[in-house]
């Protein structure tokens, strides 16, 4: 039955578009919940700007309960889309004795806030998916470490020196080889019959002719 339902939904997504169907093990890992036992075996996500029928039924219910009118051009704020979409990003505002004033932080994941709360409360965190370095710059007294920059500079200089040494050694080897080839060619031209016999004969031929 599960495979039949998945096949029907998959075909509908290809025919109609505007939503994606996942089996549980194919849910993107960056969503960080596919291993949760409460996640169903089939998961369907609407494309941005689209919603399923239950959303419209909810709008009808709440409009009747709270007395507001819904038109074709009415806009609604809903969640549940891919969290990489800019429209799914919340805003972050913080104030307090440990928070910097007039500080703007780069985009971070919501789970990173857990590490910030632990740092402010000075408590040891349990296992989590947050990355403290993404959010720690908001704290008073934080200064970016120069260590990564120093490591990059030292590494670059070391690599450059290594390349220079390798190039120098290669050049010397090429020059030495060229000298050997030139000497061998000269000896072979002078003594074409004897030079190719053995190394000993070649060394003997290098002795002065008057010896």
Confidence (pTM): 0.53
pLDDT tens digits along 102-155: 999 998 988 899 999 999 999 988 888 889 999 999 999 865 554 455 567 777
Cα separations (Å) of 31 from 52, 80, 107, 178, 210?
A: 20, 11, 17, 63, 90
pLDDT tens digits along 29-77: 888 888 899 999 999 999 998 888 888 788 888 888 888 888 878 887 7
Q: DSSP letters along 143-202, please?
A: ---SHHHHHHHHHHHHHHHHHHHHHHHHHHHHHHHHHHHHHHHHHHHHSTTTTTT-HHHH
Q: Is 135 exposed, middle or buried (0-12, 13-18, 19+ CB in 10 A)?
A: buried
The CATH class that applies to domain 1-47 reads alpha beta
Write out the two tokens for 88.
Answer: 């799914």
- Count of alpha carbons within 13 Å of 94, Cβ hemisphere only? 19
Higher-scoring residue by pLDDT: 99, 167: 99
């Amino acid at each position: 039955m599960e495979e039949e339902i998945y096949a029907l939904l998959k075909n509908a997504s290809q025919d109609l578009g505007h939503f994606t169907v996942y089996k549980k093990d194919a849910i993107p890992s960056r969503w960080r919940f596919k291993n949760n036992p409460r996640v169903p075996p089939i998961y369907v996500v609407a494309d941005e700007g689209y919603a399923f029928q239950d959303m419209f039924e909810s709008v009808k219910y709440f409009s009747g309960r709270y007395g507001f009118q819904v038109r074709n051009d009415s806009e609604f704020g809903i969640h549940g889309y891919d969290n990489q979409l800019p429209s799914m990003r919340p805003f972050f505002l913080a104030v307090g004795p440990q928070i910097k004033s007039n500080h703007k932080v780069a985009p971070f994941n919501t789970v990173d806030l857990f590490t910030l709360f632990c740092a402010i409360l000075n408590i040891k965190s349990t296992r989590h998916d947050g990355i403290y370095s993404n959010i720690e710059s908001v704290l008073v007294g934080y200064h970016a470490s120069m260590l990564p920059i120093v490591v990059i500079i030292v590494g670059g200089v070391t690599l450059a020196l290594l390349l220079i040494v390798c190039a120098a050694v290669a050049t010397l080897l090429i020059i030495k080889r060229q000298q050997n080839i030139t000497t061998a060619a000269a000896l072979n031209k002078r003594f074409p019959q004897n030079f190719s016999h053995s190394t000993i004969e070649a060394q003997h031929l290098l002795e002065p002719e008057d010896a």
